A and B are shown apart, each in its own frame.
Chain A
Amino acid sequence: MTTASLSGGPEPTARAAVVSLPASARSRVWFQSQTSRRLAFGYLLLAPAALYVLLLVGAPFLFSLYLAVSDANVGEPVAHFIGLENFRSAWEMDTFWIALQNSVVFLVVAAIFKSLLGTSLAFLLLQEFPGKKLIRGLVVIPFTLPVAISVLAWKWMYDSQFSVINWVLSRLGLIGQFGTDAWPIWLGDPHLALAACIAVNVWRTFPFSAIVLLAGFTSVPLEVLDAAKVDGCSFFQRFRHVVAPMIFPILMIGFLFDTVFTLSDLSVVYLLTQGGPANASKILPVLAYQIGIQAGNLGRGAAIALFLVPLLAPAMFLFLRNLRRREY
């Protein structure tokens, strides 16, 4: 007989086992529970996306922050910290303010036209008509064509001498003859140049808006729309009070992508005008490229590019907050 048995309890080792048993059982239970396994599996599925964002978005963003506060240039492997000097330098530039203003105009005007055209196209594609599938395929061509090719085609269409747009308009009597003041110089007039660049950007990307909206429209149950019709709602009332609220998350995501694509679009302006004439169509990505890469001042180029962040961040914040509220 042991002392333990004499006192009526188990032996110390056994007691310890009894004491520790519930803890290990709890941890085993937590790891082995259905919830924890689902959670772990969820994180596992999310990991590639998170890694992708960290590596391809987070790391370059942090690197550009580092460049923006340094005197980095393309030929110097070592850069020194210079604080906010690059930002101050950008503020001193007349061209920077023109580019900032143009970027905002570009974003707002392009967004308005893309929304209008995208919505109209999405509604058209919802209708039943022969060759619908073919047309659906064709409308995305501008979005899928390599930007260099499509923009060069537009450059020809905007040519000061051989513009097919001008020749058609001239034949229709809507503008004057070549060589007169009534012959528009699309890429040479300060106002027309920016408008011409915006038009190409809209042409390239509004099919994307249409496809996003189309996906949203097709997800709205027909019964709901029919009920609204029975209640006497007009087309616009149905769109505003039934369709738009139901597809709001999709609209927001589409808008988010579109804002980012438009603000960071370097190719269209660079290939059409390089920002000319006299900076009339200069936007921040083009200026950042010209200073950062072509002139070799990586630090200043990064600082200019980062001015896009204050423009984008509030918009992103509002979109995402609104989206989350709707989800709950």
Chain B
Amino acid sequence: MSATSTFNRRKFLTAAGAGVAGGSLLTMLEARQAPAQIKGTTLRILQWSHFIPAYDAWYDKFAKEWGDKNGVKVRVDHIPHLEIPARMAAEFAAGAGHDIIYNGSSILTRLYYKNLVDLTDITEAAGKKYGGYIPSAKSLVEVEGRWYGVPLFYILLPMLYRKDLFDANNLKAPDTWELARVAARTMKPKGHPTGIALSQCADANLMWRSCFFSHGGTEATPSGDQPTLDSKELREFLKFAKAIFEEGMTPEVFSWDDASDNRYLASGVACWVHDAISAYRTTEDTNPDVFKNTYIGMEPAGPGGKRINTCAANVWMVWKFAKNQTAAKEFLTHMVDTFSEGMVSSRGYNMPYLNGFAKKPMPVIGTDPKLQILQDFPPIVAFYGYPGPFVTPIQEVVNLFVLPDMFTRVARGQSVEDVMKWGMGEYRRIFAKHKRA
């Protein structure tokens, strides 16, 4: 009797204690309160300079507010995204620097994962909370089953076309690459050519991959250990690239940088461009007449009906030598939870990896009739190395612009077979080199 009574009391105390602790934790999570130990610490974040400047202003304020709320001094440094690899190398060599490092487009997880904090716990928690990630997300950050980065947003590069010009020429909207080619062929003689960068810039790497993958091509095996470029699809696609260049573009594309197509569209010359919505926003801000007639289309389908959009990935990581790992993880969790705010401040530029945030209507793009189509992109999102992960040989291939250079060579008049031989030679040499290392 007495034993039963003691057991009940203990059980009661345990249950009550657990209830209070759980309740406090839930309250803390609800209020997004970070643990007390991060109070009085400093968190240093290395961030890119966003293509939408308003996002940077919002981000700095957002980070400061989080810091003020949690008693953490937050310092955000913005640098151009192309400088991030050099900065990362310098910080790693010195064993000191920022706590949180941003990676854009060139995702360096596989190079540094041994020196990055395993963030599987927070990414898994976010996945559970927000309905999981789009399938391609893990290819960016997963190494040996662990996630070493938090994929927060990616940047789409859809089709932006001039509806007035298409209508005036009785052309169908560019829903397939063949229709896009016909439109360019029709409108180039009328002073409205198209353009996809055939130079050494990030846009060339991204857009030609979208076009190539939609034509059934692949870059590497799903495991990422072998290149798969040497295919009938690539041979056919090289012919298509040559044709679309000759029929619908001008040699200007050989000199383009990442902002050239924005200017091309905003100037009123282009009949269509395949670019991020920064081109749409630039046109909105600089040429209202052209903007009025600029529409956004789904990724054009290839001959087999396949649509793949190669996107610019954005990922956040934490150094193992970071002095403030706890605050870094708390802040990253907060960034994930408040994704929608970031999407609004980026004017719909940032797209979510988490399915929960991709539900229709999405902020900004869900309410703009012209942008609504962007909500249908998540299932067709891919990244460099498709369908494989972003492995180190792919990173070298991307940084040396091998794939766009193949299209440049064929556009400049080299034979398809010579270009295949050169391109495959480069891919095989780079993959073999990394395998030996």
The number of residues on chain A lying at the interface, defined by a beta carbon within 8 Å of a beta carbon of chain B, is 42
- Which of A155, A179, A294 is B399 in contact with, Cβ under 8 Å? A294
Q: Which of B261-269, B273-281, B344-352 is the interface stretch?
A: B261-269
Are the C-beta atoms of A94 and B425 separated by less than 8 Å?
yes
Are the C-beta atoms of A293 and B200 separated by less than 8 Å?
no
Residue of A nearest to B406 (CB): A278
The number of residues on chain B lying at the interface, defined by a beta carbon within 8 Å of a beta carbon of chain A, is 47
Are the C-beta atoms of B111 and A73 separated by less than 8 Å?
yes
Main secondary structure of the interface of A (DSSP, over half): loop
Given contacts A188-B254, A291-B400, whether A296 and B395 have CB atoms under 8 Å apart is yes
Tell whether A264 is near chain B: CB-to-CB under 8 Å: no
Given contacts A75-B92, A273-B199, whether A94 and B255 have CB atoms under 8 Å apart is no
Are the C-beta atoms of B255 and A95 separated by less than 8 Å?
no
Query: For B86, B93, B252, B264, which residue has the most chain A Cβ atoms within 10 angstroms?
Result: B252
Tell whether A110 is near chain B: CB-to-CB under 8 Å: no
Docked CA distance A161–B200 (Å): 18
Are the C-beta atoms of B399 and A161 separated by less than 8 Å?
no
Are the C-beta atoms of A75 and B111 separated by less than 8 Å?
yes
Tell whether B256 is near chain A: CB-to-CB under 8 Å: yes
Are the C-beta atoms of B255 and A158 separated by less than 8 Å?
yes
Docked CA distance A275–B114 (Å): 32
Residue of A nearest to B409 (CB): A278
Residue of A nearest to B393 (CB): A295
Docked CA distance A291–B399 (Å): 8
Docked CA distance A265–B399 (Å): 19
Docked CA distance A232–B181 (Å): 73
Docked CA distance A24–B89 (Å): 57
Known: A74-B112, A276-B401. 20 other contacts (CB 8 A): A73-B437, A74-B89, A74-B93, A74-B111, A160-B256, A161-B252, A161-B267, A179-B191, A188-B251, A188-B252, A277-B198, A277-B255, A279-B200, A289-B86, A290-B399, A293-B85, A293-B86, A294-B106, A295-B400, A300-B433
List the 6 closest A-B pairs by CB distance, nearest first: A188-B255, A188-B254, A276-B200, A187-B255, A160-B252, A295-B396
| 21 sample A-B contacts, Cβ–Cβ < 8 Å, listed by A number | A74-B85, A74-B108, A74-B111, A74-B112, A75-B115, A94-B425, A161-B252, A161-B260, A162-B263, A179-B250, A185-B255, A188-B251, A193-B255, A273-B199, A274-B199, A276-B254, A278-B408, A279-B200, A295-B396, A295-B400, A296-B392
CB within 8 Å of B: which residues of A? Answer: 71, 73-77, 89, 92-95, 155, 158-162, 179, 185-190, 193, 273-279, 289-291, 293-298, 300
